Amino acid sequence: MIYHFGAFELDIARVELRRAGSPCPLEPQVFALLAFLVEHRERVVSKDEIFEKVWDGRVVTDSALTSRVKLARKALGDNGKAQKFIRTVHGMGFRFVADVRVQRDPVLAVLPANPPADDTLGLGTTADTDTRPSIAVLPFQCIGAAGAYDNIAQGLPHELITELARLRWLFVIARGSSFRLGGQDLEPQAVGRTLGVQYILSGTVEVTGQQLVITTELVDALGGDVVWGERYKGYVDEVHAVRDEIRAKILASLEIQIPLHEATRARLMNSDNLSAWSAYHLGLQHLYRFNATDNSTATALFEHAVREDPDFARAHAGLSFVHFQTAFMHLTNNIGGEVALARDSAQRGLDIDPLDPFVNFTMGRSFWLETDLERARSWLERAIALCPNYAQGIYALAWTNTIAGVQADGRGQIDQAMRLSPLDPLYYAMLGARGFTHIAHEEYSEAIEWTDRAAQSPGAHVFMALLAAAAQQLAGNPLRAQAWAAEVRERGPQIRSNDFFRNYPITAEPMRARVAAALRQLGF
């Protein structure tokens, strides 16, 4: 259908809003909301119905709906006072009130391979850059005769769409739209233009004898360049295990690769014109370096992001993380104040989007420095429930359970986190957490292997060196322990054992007593 109202055309097949024939930038979820209102213009549509149809029944806050309605009105030149197109019926919902003429257009047009240079659908220089990154997962292509396994080419992308929807920071085009382009030989820019997305995930499936090979590729729809790709091999009789592994690794990789790519793109922009999203992704580049300079830079960028978009949940979570880091690294004398700010920022993020895993993660971390491991654990468990492949949440929960003495498979969880995200900026912390699991069981020869690797990893903060020193002392290697202790004193001469236990609030005895004795012997 193509719906005509005023100077506008709403083209359902092309997922496009046009004004006088020119495309209007519109993020996918706002388009879905507008289309739903137009298609049901004969009646008032309740909030609950919108949540069910547009958000697929996921629980979201009223503010999320309000912001989408506001963006739809803005695209139409409407506002909450005039309500020429979208009328708010208080206590009931919304209704589309403009006169509409319907034109049937059942065939999805195939766009040219090279879209015009002045494309303004949402991917060009005139796009609304304050929206979340968006992605379309296309059905995978079979190479050769896959036989009974050709359903993987449809099944795996479908499952990926479902799981990607758990990433609250990412807009995901529904299967009903993205699968319509399956089998069409379109350039990435054409797919991006048709579906209104920034990223496209595609892949191939090949079965040779008993061997199964699946490749995946993430493409930037603006420039057509490949952002990331991977190749997976297995056997057809292990297809379900291979499928689960691929799904988990892709989800974890997208959590890293898309923010990295967004930051690279943002660095090419004038800092005076940074959008909320660009500022957020630039902030991520400084977030995990655990030093005063980068922490200050990240703080400024996240503050810029929330000024640009006060309803940007992940920017508030970023602020929570930098306040946590300020307290963790003792970059201020007001530790209690920073912990309170970390919690307040996390709470603001939760008020906006309670289902974002990163927001829940930062709330859990805010309780860490107060030794309230029970409450920290509940928030981290919630983060993982929201996104089962959230590597940072998995490792943080495992570490929390270890230092609290909770009987849980901490070692297995940390190994899972490292498999999910081998390039994670907190990978060194995962190594350190793995070492902690061995300290808990007095397996000191294994503990020094992991803690040394953690302390030697790029970007590892000074407390990793202190952990390595304690492990070496417990293992009966005083010379190696003193070497790590000397590095700690050089990098942080003010650090004492109480700083270590504030950052790693070990409540499990006798592990705490053993570590305290080791640090005392080293002069901390």
Options 1.10.3720.10, 2.40.50.100, 1.10.10.10, 1.20.58.390; CATH for 2-103 is 1.10.10.10
Helix/strand/coil for 202:
strand
Same CATH topology for 134-249 and 390-524: the answer is: no
Residues 6+ apart with CB under 8 A from 428: 454, 455, 457, 458, 459, 460, 464
Question: Mind listing the pLDDT tens digit of every residue in the chain (524 residues)?
Answer: 688 998 999 887 667 888 888 888 877 778 888 988 998 888 888 888 888 777 765 666 777 788 889 989 999 998 888 889 999 988 888 999 998 888 754 433 333 333 333 333 333 333 333 356 788 889 888 887 766 666 677 777 877 887 776 666 777 886 767 777 766 667 788 888 777 788 898 888 888 888 888 888 888 887 777 878 888 888 877 777 777 777 777 777 777 777 777 776 665 554 444 577 778 878 887 888 778 888 999 999 999 989 988 888 889 999 999 999 999 888 888 988 999 999 999 999 999 888 788 899 999 999 988 889 999 999 999 998 888 778 889 999 999 999 898 866 788 889 988 877 776 788 899 999 999 999 999 999 999 999 999 999 888 889 999 999 999 999 999 999 999 999 999 988 999 999 999 889 999 889 999 999 999 999 99
Q: Which phi and psi (to 5°) does residue 365 adopt?
A: -65, -30
- pLDDT recorded at residue 105: 44
- pLDDT recorded at residue 168: 64
- pLDDT recorded at residue 317: 94
- pLDDT recorded at residue 269: 56
Q: Which two tokens stand for residue 35?
A: 């289309």
Decide yes or no: CATH 1.25.40.10 for domain 269-388. Answer: yes
Residues 6+ apart with CB under 8 A from 524: 466, 485, 488, 495, 496, 497, 500
Rounded CA-CA distance 455/407 in Å is 26
- pLDDT recorded at residue 286: 86
Rounded CA-CA distance 301/309 in Å is 12
What's the Cα-to-Cα distance from 239 to each of 140, 151, 217, rounded to whole Å? 15, 11, 20
Options 3.30.420.40, 3.40.50.10070, 2.170.190.11, 3.60.15.10; CATH for 134-249 is 3.40.50.10070
- pLDDT recorded at residue 267: 57
The domain spans of the chain are 2-103, 134-249, 269-388, 390-524
What's the Cα-to-Cα distance from 62 to each of 51, 312, 354, 512, rounded to whole Å? 9, 14, 12, 45
pTM above 0.75, yes or no: no
**Could you tell me if 100 and 112 are in contact, meaning their C-beta atoms sit under 8 angstroms apart?**
no
- pLDDT recorded at residue 104: 55
Q: Which helix (H) or strand (E) holds 206?
A: strand 199-208
What is the CATH class of 390-524?
A: mainly alpha
**Could you tell me if 472 and 448 are in contact, meaning their C-beta atoms sit under 8 angstroms apart?**
yes
In the chain, the N- to C-terminal Cα span, in Å, equals: 72
- Of 157, 149, 193, the C-alpha closest to 176 is 157
